[in-house]
Structure 1
Amino acid sequence: MSPPSPPPDWVLARRRVIGARIRAARVDAHLTQEALAQAAGVDSKTVHRIEYGLSDPSLSVLLRLSDALGVPLVELVRA
């Protein structure tokens, strides 16, 4: 079985946009990455990787972040 191919460039670009929206919402909420991570029940390194588009978060993690930020998920992932 061959390893999965890397995601296309447009996927990586969208991940960075979504991460930037999460980062902006966190800053607007006056939260550190650590505080957001604690509120969402995830590791602060996870928040960092998501904000910089370095990871591919699950829907569950996105829902937790959305809830912790008080921002509808659709606002964070809209096109």
Structure 2
Amino acid sequence: MPPLPPPSDRVLARRRAIGRQIRDARLAAARTQEDVALRAEMDRASYVRIEQGQASPLLDTLIRIADALGVPLAHLVRDE
């Protein structure tokens, strides 16, 4: 199976936007990155990469983050 092509600029921009929405939800909930990562059952470094838009999380991971923040999943991935 050939390697996947790199993500397009549009996809990278959307990934960063989702990361910002996750960060904003975390700050609104007054939680630390460590706290959210623990609640989402993941390591802090992986969480930080998602929040910074550097990683592309699985849907299951996004669901766990939304649950950890107490917000609907749609809140984290809505178009700005």
Please give the root-mean-square deviation of Cα atoms over the aligned residues, in Å: 0.8
User: Any runs of at least 4 consecutive aligned residues in structure 1 with deviations exceeding 6 A, and if so which?
Assistant: none
- 2:34 maps to what in 1? 34
What TM-score does the superposition give when structure 1 sets the normalisation length?
0.95
* TM-score, scaled to structure 2: 0.94
SS of the equivalent of 1:2 reads coil
**Letter matched to residue 54 of structure 1:** Q
Segments of structure 2 that go 5 or more residues without pairing to the other structure are: none
Give the fraction of aligned pairs with identical amino acids, expressed as a percent: 53
What is the aligned length? Answer: 79
Output one character per residue of 1:23-69: Cα deviation in whole Å (capped at 9) or x when no partner.
01111111111010001101101110001100010000000000010
**Partner residue, 1:17:** 17
- Aligned mates of 2:4, 2:69 — CA distance in 1: 32
